[in-house]
C-alpha cells in the first residue's frame, strides 16, 4: 500500500467514531414519508462539519409533475427538500495520480427517507431507538440507507481533513422520496445538479449493482354492494372477497413475466415480483364490505416502460372482471399513485465501473462482483440523464423487515473505498498536511 493510501486509510479510521455517532442520530430521526426534515437538518449539519456549504433543493410539485419521468403523487411536497453540498475542485489544473488532469466530477447520493417499521411490537427494541450489539447497529433505516449517507460523508470528511485537493468536483446529495417516487433525485437533476458519474451508497455490499428493475405502484379500487351480513349470500356483493379474484389474475401476470427473463435477469429464478402491499376495505364486521382497495408493487424489466406495464395491469384486471358475473356489473378502477419508473443498466466497461472496482480492490484485495438487483433505486434517473450510476454501500440485513441492522465495520470499509475512489476519479492537485 502506498504512503498516500496509508494516509487516507488512517484518515478514514480517525472518522469512525464521528460516523457512528452521526448514524445513531440519523436513525433516531423518524424520517418516514412526510417527516424527512429532521433527518435533513442533521445531514446539513454533517455536510457543514466537513467544511462544505449545504444547499437546499426544494421539491417543486409543478415542475415534477411536468416531467414525463416523474412518478405520480397525491400528497403535498411543500416544505420538502433535498440537501446537497459541493466540494469544488480545481478543474483544469495539472493533476497527478488517477485523475490524469481530467478533473472529472462525481455525485455521491443517498436517500434520507425510510419505510415504516411494519409493526413496532415485533421489534426487539423500538425501531427508532438505535441499539448496538457487537458490530451491528439496529434500527429502521440504519441500513436502508442512512449508513450509506454516513459512509459517503465520512469519506469526504476524511479526505478534506487529510489535505487532499481535487482537480474535479464531488457533490454530496441527500434526497427525499426514494422509497415512494424517486422524485427527490429527479428534482436535483432538474435543478442542474449533474456530474460525470454517480455512486449511490445503497446497502449493496461486496459488489457493484449495475442493473435494476423498474417499478410500478398501482391501486385497484373495488366497489361492492353492502348488506347485512345475515343476508350476505343473497343481497350483498363483498368487495373484499372480489379482490381475491383480481389478485389471482395478477399472480398469473407475474408468472408470465418470469417465464423467459432477458439478460441479465436470466440469472434469477424469479426476477419480477408482484407484491400486494396493502389491502384496505370494509367498515363493519357485520356489514358486507362496500369498498376495498388492493395496493400493489410490480417489477418490470429494463427496456419496459411504465406505460406498457400499466396497459398489462389494466388488461389483466379488465379480463378478470369480465369473467366474473358480479365484477362485470361492478367494474374495478385501476389508478396510480407512487412509483412509475423504468429500469436501467450500466455497461461493465464504463470507466465508473472499472475505476470504482479498482478502488474496491485496493482496499479488499480483489475486485467486486458486478450484479443486477430486483429492486429499484434512484440510479435510473442519473442513467437516463447520461450519467453512469451504480450502487455500492454498507452491509445491511432485514431492510424493510423487523430488526433491520447494519454492520458498523462495513460502514468504515465503504468509506475507505470511496475515499480511495474519489481522488482516483476526480484527480488530485496535491496532497499536503494540514
Q: Give the model's pLDDT for residue 172.
A: 98
Residue 97 contacts residue 168 (beta carbons within 8 Å):
no
Distances (CA, A) of 374 to 210, 215, 249, 272: 11, 10, 22, 7
Question: In this predicted model, what pLDDT tens digit does every residue of 326-356 receive, in sequence order?
Answer: 899 999 999 999 999 999 999 999 999 999 9
* Mean pLDDT across 41-62: 98
Residue 171 contacts residue 106 (beta carbons within 8 Å):
yes
In DSSP terms, 405 is beta-bridged to 138, 397
* Mean pLDDT across 318-333: 96
Judge whether residue 33 has pLDDT over 80: yes
Question: In this predicted model, what pLDDT tens digit does every residue of 164-177 receive, in sequence order?
Answer: 999 999 999 999 99
Q: Give the model's pLDDT for residue 434.
A: 35
Give dist(CA 137, CA 355) in Å, integer: 30
In DSSP terms, 211 is beta-bridged to 345, 372
* Mean pLDDT across 180-197: 98
pLDDT band at 429 (very low <50, low <70, confident <90, very high): confident
Element (H, E) at 9: helix 3-14
354-361 CB contacts, 8 Å cutoff, 24+ apart: 355/98, 355/421, 355/424, 355/425, 356/199, 356/208, 356/390, 356/392, 356/417, 356/421, 356/425, 357/208, 358/424, 359/417, 359/418, 359/420, 359/421, 359/424, 360/208, 360/392, 360/417, 360/421
3-state secondary structure 279-337: EEECCCCCECCCEEEEEEEEEECCCCCHHHHHHHHHHHHHHHHHCCHHHHHCCCEEECC
Report the chain's mean pLDDT, rounded to a whole number.
95
Q: How is residue 143 annotated by DSSP? A: I
Judge whether residue 98 has pLDDT over 80: no
The residue extents of the domains of the chain are: 3-212+343-431, 215-341
pLDDT band at 54 (very low <50, low <70, confident <90, very high): very high
Judge whether residue 94 has pLDDT over 70: no
Judge whether residue 59 has pLDDT over 60: yes
Q: Give the model's pLDDT for residue 431.
A: 42
Question: In this predicted model, what pLDDT tens digit does every residue of 229-242 receive, in sequence order?
Answer: 999 999 999 999 99
* Mean pLDDT across 381-394: 98
Q: How is residue 367 annotated by DSSP? A: P
Q: Give the model's pLDDT for residue 430.
A: 60
Q: Give the model's pLDDT for residue 90.
A: 77
CATH fold for domain 215-341: Alpha-Beta Plaits (3.30.70)
Judge whether residue 100 has pLDDT over 60: no
Name the grid cell of 99: 485523475
Match 467544511 to its residue by C-alpha cell. Answer: 51
| pTM, rounded to two decimals | 0.94
Distances (CA, A) of 299 to 27, 88, 417: 28, 38, 31
Alpha-carbon dihedral 272, 274, 275, 280, rounded to 10 degrees: 160
- 144 conformational bin, left if phi > 0, alpha if psi -120 to 50, beta if neither: beta
Question: In this predicted model, what pLDDT tens digit does every residue of 270-305 receive, in sequence order?
Answer: 999 999 999 999 999 999 999 999 999 999 999 999
Residue 390 contacts residue 109 (beta carbons within 8 Å):
no
Terminal alpha carbon distance of the chain: 22
Give dist(CA 364, CA 370) in Å, integer: 15
Residue 182 contacts residue 204 (beta carbons within 8 Å):
no
Which of the following CATH numbers is that of domain 3-212+343-431: 3.60.21.10, 3.40.630.10, 3.40.50.150, 3.40.50.720?
3.40.630.10
Q: Give the model's pLDDT for residue 103.
A: 85
Amino acid at each position: 500500500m502506498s504512503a498516500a493510501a496509508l494516509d487516507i486509510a488512517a484518515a478514514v479510521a480517525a472518522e469512525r467514531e464521528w460516523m457512528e455517532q452521526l448514524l445513531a442520530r440519523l436513525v433516531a430521526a423518524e424520517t418516514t414519508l412526510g417527516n424527512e426534515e429532521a433527518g435533513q437538518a442533521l445531514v446539513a449539519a454533517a455536510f457543514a462539519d466537513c467544511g462544505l456549504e449545504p444547499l437546499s433543493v426544494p421539491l417543486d410539485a409543478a415542475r415534477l409533475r411536468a416531467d414525463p419521468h416523474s412518478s405520480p403523487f397525491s400528497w403535498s411536497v411543500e416544505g420538502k427538500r433535498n440537501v446537497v453540498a459541493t466540494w469544488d475542485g480545481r478543474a483544469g489544473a495539472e493533476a497527478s495520480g488517477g485523475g490524469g488532469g481530467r478533473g472529472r466530477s462525481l455525485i455521491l447520493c443517498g436517500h434520507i427517507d425510510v419505510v415504516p417499521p411494519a409493526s413496532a411490537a415485533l421489534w426487539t427494541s423500538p425501531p427508532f431507538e438505535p441499539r448496538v450489539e457487537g458490530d451491528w447497529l439496529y434500527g429502521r433505516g440504519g441500513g436502508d440507507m442512512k449508513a450509506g449517507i454516513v459512509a459517503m460523508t465520512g469519506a469526504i470528511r476524511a479526505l478534506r481533513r487529510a489535505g487532499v485537493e481535487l482537480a474535479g468536483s464531488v457533490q454530496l446529495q441527500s434526497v427525499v422520496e426514494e422509497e415512494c417516487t424517486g422524485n427527490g433525485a429527479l428534482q436535483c437533476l432538474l435543478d442542474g445538479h449533474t456530474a460525470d458519474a454517480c455512486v449511490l451508497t445503497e446497502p449493496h455490499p461486496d459488489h457493484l449493482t449495475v442493473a435494476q428493475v423498474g417499478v410500478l405502484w398501482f391501486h385497484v379500487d373495488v366497489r361492492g354492494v353492502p348488506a347485512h351480513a345475515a343476508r350476505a349470500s343473497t343481497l350483498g356483493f363483498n368487495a373484499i372477497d372480489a379482490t381475491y379474484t383480481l389478485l389471482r389474475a395478477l399472480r398469473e401476470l407475474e408468472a408470465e413475466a418470469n417465464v423467459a427473463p432477458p439478460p441479465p435477469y436470466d440469472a434469477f429464478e424469479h426476477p419480477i415480483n408482484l407484491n400486494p402491499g396493502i389491502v384496505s376495505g370494509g367498515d363493519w364486521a357485520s356489514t358486507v364490505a362496500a369498498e376495498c382497495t388492493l395496493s400493489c408493487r410490480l417489477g418490470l424489466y429494463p427496456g419496459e416502460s411504465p406505460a406498457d406495464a400499466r396497459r398489462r395491469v389494466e388488461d389483466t384486471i379488465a379480463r378478470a372482471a369480465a369473467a366474473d358475473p358480479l365484477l362485470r356489473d361492478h367494474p374495478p378502477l385501476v389508478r396510480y399513485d407512487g412509483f412509475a419508473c423504468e429500469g436501467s443498466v450500466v455497461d461493465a466497461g464504463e470507466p465508473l465501473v472499472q475505476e470504482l472496482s479498482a478502488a474496491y480492490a485496493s482496499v479488499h484485495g480483489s475486485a467486486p462482483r458486478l450484479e443486477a438487483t430486483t429492486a429499484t433505486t434512484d440510479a435510473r434517473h442519473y442513467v437516463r440523464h447520461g450519467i453512469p450510476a451504480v450502487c455500492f454501500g454498507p452491509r445491511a440485513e432485514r431492510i424493510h423487515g423487523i430488526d433491520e441492522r447494519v454492520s458498523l465495520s462495513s460502514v468504515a470499509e465503504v468509506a475507505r473505498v470511496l475515499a480511495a475512489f474519489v481522488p482516483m476519479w476526480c484527480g488530485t492537485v496535491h496532497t499536503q498536511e494540514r
